[in-house]
Amino acid sequence: MAMIAEDAQAAPTPVKDVRHLAVGDVVDGFRLEAQMPAGGMAGFWRVSRPDVAVPLIMKIPLLRAGEDPITIVGYEMEHMILPRLSGAHVPRFIAAGPFEQPYIVMELIEGRSVRELLAETPLAPDRVAAIGAQIAFALHDIHRQHVLHLDLKPSNVFLRPNGEAVLIDYGLAHHELLPDLVAEEIDGPVGTGPYVAPEQVLRDRTDPRSDIFALGVIMYFLATGERPFGEPQRAAEWRRRLWRDPFPPRSWNPQVPPWLQEIILRCLEVDPERRYATAAQLAFDLQHPSEVALTRRAERLHRDSFLTVLLRRLRASRAAAPLRRKSVSGMLAGAPIVVAAVDLDTDAAPLANALRDAVRRVLVTDPSARLACVHVLKTARLTIDTWEDAQGRNLHLQRMIELKHWARALPIDPTRITYHVLEGSDPGAALVEYARNNQIDHLLLGARGETPLRRYLGSTSTHVVAQAPCTVTIVRAHRMAATAETDPVHAST
């Protein structure tokens, strides 16, 4: 009876349009004091609450019609990661809102963004080293808390009045103890072009030395006034850093001492094994320049020869996908990954209920399972898609809310369940691609009643059973009960 009552509850509250917020509004007890400049994926408000003494900032994802899904994914990642971080090098987490009104409230960092220093470049070597060391300390701190930032850049680093670095914006970050939604939902490398490490171009998001590479780019810019790889806008352009080294900093600015060039170029090595092993070791060198061991990097004034670059490019063209590392995340990945493909159309409610019962049985049988709840938002092949419903709500976000509403009664730890709204003209193909890209072990989906048209065109469930590289369970809703048909499909098929 409790199950029936749960299913009968009202649908989730619609998302409030962020554009209607104004100074003086109160959101979950936070008063909006002043609007601040917006970022690429979020708006910002200075807010206050009577029981919190520190200055606060509210970050609200920009969920506009047709917005890139990375906006929603980034909000989910920061929502999961920021509350788990602590210390002086991260903004203090205060609160977060639900998907009905998404926001994150955190400490407003008093200080100066490193981005503001770019207008003063090139900076004196000692100042570059001091700033670099503080950022390295901040990186080492979050790495010890199992977090890789993976979007380190000047605008994401603030310097407190005492010089300590604070790292903000964890929308593209990876926590090795949590699901990596960015890797699961975004097809291709992500990041900010000038700062992306070579292994990130190859979609390896598990190496903390990627953050060391990005810090090398920042220090290069501060020391020379130039970016080592320019400003590439497309992932195809990012691949050049797999073989093309940058001009040595001293070729731009002869005032860069050999020890600083040695440090910067070591951070920018293509092979992570040739970079600093940890950010703490990098910070040590930056604080003790007289003890830096100089190599050929220190005196270089030219880039590598044509032959060296050609050989490196040939190796890059044969580079295979990166192997999974034996880390905490690798061990967690060994647990079963279960996908529930949920049809959220109104007339599919009985089938959605039957699917939830089937998923519940799987979770009871295997409590170590990781669950991904997936809905495919079907797009038109030839017409222009509409990204808002009749009430003007963002469809992608609304489906995400409905997925959470569907799954909230399932017996699973919230840290082991994630929600994904895919887009595609062919739902079956979208599910198969998702299963392949994410090494899914078991996929459950509902099958609607058979019709002559479905027999002629082929159903989504038929497509998935035939193509998915995993075990597939087809759930059918009957008048009194649900049945499940399981068809094991192996990766070798």
Q: How far apart are CA 434 and CA 185, in angstroms?
A: 8
- Of the three residues 107, 138, 173, the one that is the final residue of a domain is 107
Looking at residue 466, what is its pLDDT? Answer: 84
Q: In the chain, count of helices (H) and strands (E)?
A: 17, 17
Longest dimension (CA), the chain: 80
268 shares a domain with 361: no
Residues 267 and 367 in one domain: no
Strand 417-424: give its sheet, edge to edge.
417-424, 370-378, 337-341, 442-446, 471-477, 482-488
pLDDT of residue 416: 75
Confirm if 261 and 297 have CB atoms less than 8 A apart. Answer: yes
Indicate whether 63 and 120 sit together in one domain.
no
Contact 93, 85 (CB under 8 A): yes
The answer as to whether 322 is a domain residue is no
pLDDT number for residue 467: 86
Here the CATH number for the domain that contains residue 303 is 1.10.510.10
Provide the CATH number for the domain around residue 38: 3.30.200.20
The residue among 56, 80, 107 that closes a domain is: 107
Intervals of the chain under pLDDT 70: 1-19, 63-68, 317-335, 346-347, 380-393, 415, 438-439, 448-458, 478-493
The two tokens of residue 130 are: 């001091």
Question: Could you tell me if 366 and 484 lie in one domain?
Answer: yes
Q: Is residue 445 part of a domain?
A: yes
Specify if 274 maps to a domain. yes
Domain that holds residue 401: 335-488
pLDDT, one tens digit per residue, over 249-259 is: 999 999 999 99
Q: Is residue 201 part of a domain?
A: yes
Residue at 2 is within a domain: no
Model pLDDT for residues 31-79, shown as the tens digit of each residue? 999 999 887 778 899 999 999 999 999 999 876 555 567 888 888 999 9
CATH of the domain at 370: 3.40.50.620
* Whether residues 122 and 258 fall in one domain: yes
Same domain, 293 and 369: no
Q: Are residues 118 and 99 in the same domain?
A: no
Instruction: Kindly list the distances between the CA atom of residue 322 and the CA atoms of 177, 188, 189, 256, in Å, as whole numbers in the listed order.
Output: 19, 14, 13, 35
The DSSP line for 157-177 is EEE-TTS-EEE---TT-EETT
What's the number of CA atoms in the CB half-sphere (13 Å) around residue 133? 15
Same domain? For 123 and 94 the reply is: no
Does 323 map to a domain? no
Residue 235: what pLDDT? Answer: 78
- 140 & 242 share domain: yes
- Residues 90 and 82: beta-carbon distance below 8 Å: yes
Contact 91, 166 (CB under 8 A): yes
**Burial per residue of 27-48, b for 16 or more beta-carbon CB atoms within 10 angstroms, e otherwise:** beebbbbeeeeeeebbbbbbbe
Number of domains observed in the structure of the chain: 3
Residue whose C-alpha is closest to residue 132's, from 263, 226, 37: 263
The reply to whether 225 falls in a domain is: yes
User: Does one domain contain both 92 and 236?
Assistant: no
Name the β-bridge partners of 424: 378
Does one domain contain both 117 and 103?
no
Confirm whether 61 is domain-assigned.
yes
Q: Do 361 and 299 fall into the same domain?
A: no
Please identify, among 107, 123, 138, the residue that sits at the C-terminal boundary of a domain. Answer: 107
CA quadruple 308, 310, 315, 318: dihedral, nearest 10: 180
